[in-house]
Structure 1
């Protein structure tokens, strides 16, 4: 879909801050499914957590990401929309933990195309922090960035590095790229 843009990268690179800035400018944004799942699982003492049951967590991320995609395309399909991570982020995570996805899951994922331009935020040590939902260390954050880049390229997307800079510079960079 030509108006559906993914903003991805490793943890703590500023994706959510960028999405919030785009939303403040009137753009439709879809929050990251993974953080919502982790929050809910912590609150309910659930098992679908990356530090408990990684496969269950991955399945929930993929299902939630596909649902978010379908909701975004059903309502105002021509509206520009930015996703805080895409379905391929969950596919990448599955690869990283050695979890082989079913053919059916891969087919569902392939039926949810985004704009060919995917924006990736590189690791930025000065802003990186852990929290209740983000427990990865700096090395894992860097590794995730390279894995995400590789995964999107493997599926034919043009991965565009969003330069490190203040939020207005990053937002303007993205908006210039989509025009």
Structure 2
């Protein structure tokens, strides 16, 4: 069995993805942070998300493509906080058409490692400055991104609802 080059952690907002990625990075795993959150933190990012969801999706795609390229040539696995199908899930949730280049990226730029799903977990869900969805919207987001990943042929593996340290162990076992 070959060692995966690109793995992903997906799921709705507030499910512990970023916490898990930070913990994996502290254990020496190469990671790529969530591009949407970085865009939202930029000047005008929240307005872009609110006023131009298609433009926000385009910005996410461009940043995700840059992250994908940054992982090329790394010797071990890279774990991404979300991936191209998450953008499709966002577009569908917004009632927007998926551009052909984003669809093509989902079909051609494949994650070869496990795709982990951080399932909705109300006990840890907390809105913040970038995470503005209420619990019901978070559930809808999870459903949309899961449908997109499955539509592109992935079968995400649910992370257990355990501590971040235990989730790290779970992921590392599957990356070995």
Structure 1 residue 169 and structure 2 residue 155: aligned? no
Task: Write the distance in 2 (CA, Å) between the matches of 1:45 and 1:88.
Answer: 21
**Given the superposition, is the C-alpha separation of residues 56 and 20 from structure 1 closer, same or farther in structure 2, using an over 3 Å criterion?**
same
**Among residues 132, 137, 152, which one is paired with 1:135 in the alignment?**
132
In structure 2, the partner of 1:15 is 17
- Unmatched tracts of structure 2, length 5 or more: none
Indicate if the aligned counterparts of 2:5 and 2:78 stay in contact, CA closer than 8 A.
yes
Task: Write the distance in 2 (CA, Å) between the matches of 1:116 and 1:157.
Answer: 10
Indicate if the aligned counterparts of 2:10 and 2:86 stay in contact, CA closer than 8 A.
yes
**Given the superposition, is the C-alpha separation of residues 45 and 27 from structure 1 closer, same or farther in structure 2, using an over 3 Å criterion?**
closer
Equivalenced residue count is 174
In structure 2, the partner of 1:160 is 157
**Among residues 31, 34, 48, which one is paired with 1:32 in the alignment?**
34
In structure 2, the partner of 1:48 is 48
- Unmatched tracts of structure 1, length 5 or more: none
- Cα deviation digits, residues 44-64 of structure 1 (max 9, x gap): 477422x22111111111111
In structure 2, the partner of 1:80 is 77
Task: Write the distance in 1 (CA, Å) between the matches of 2:128 and 2:18.
Answer: 14
In structure 1, the partner of 2:62 is 63
In structure 2, the partner of 1:124 is 121
Task: Write the distance in 2 (CA, Å) between the matches of 1:36 and 1:97.
Answer: 20
What is the CA-CA distance between 1:156 and the residue it aligns to? 0.8
Task: Write the distance in 1 (CA, Å) between the matches of 2:44 and 2:61.
Answer: 20
Task: Write the distance in 1 (CA, Å) between the matches of 2:45 and 2:16.
Answer: 28
**Among residues 5, 8, 17, which one is paired with 1:6 in the alignment?**
8
Indicate if the aligned counterparts of 1:116 and 1:158 stay in contact, CA closer than 8 A.
no
Task: Determine helix, strand or coil for the equivalent of 1:13.
Answer: coil
Question: How large is the RMSD of aligned CA atoms in angstroms?
Answer: 1.7
Task: Write the distance in 1 (CA, Å) between the matches of 2:46 and 2:144.
Answer: 27
**Given the superposition, is the C-alpha separation of residues 8 and 105 from structure 1 closer, same or farther in structure 2, using an over 3 Å criterion?**
closer
Task: Determine helix, strand or coil for the equivalent of 1:158.
Answer: coil
**Given the superposition, is the C-alpha separation of residues 128 and 45 from structure 1 closer, same or farther in structure 2, using an over 3 Å criterion?**
closer
What is the CA-CA distance between 1:95 and the residue it aligns to? 1.1
TM-score by length of 2: 0.92
Task: Write the distance in 1 (CA, Å) between the matches of 2:46 and 2:90.
Answer: 19
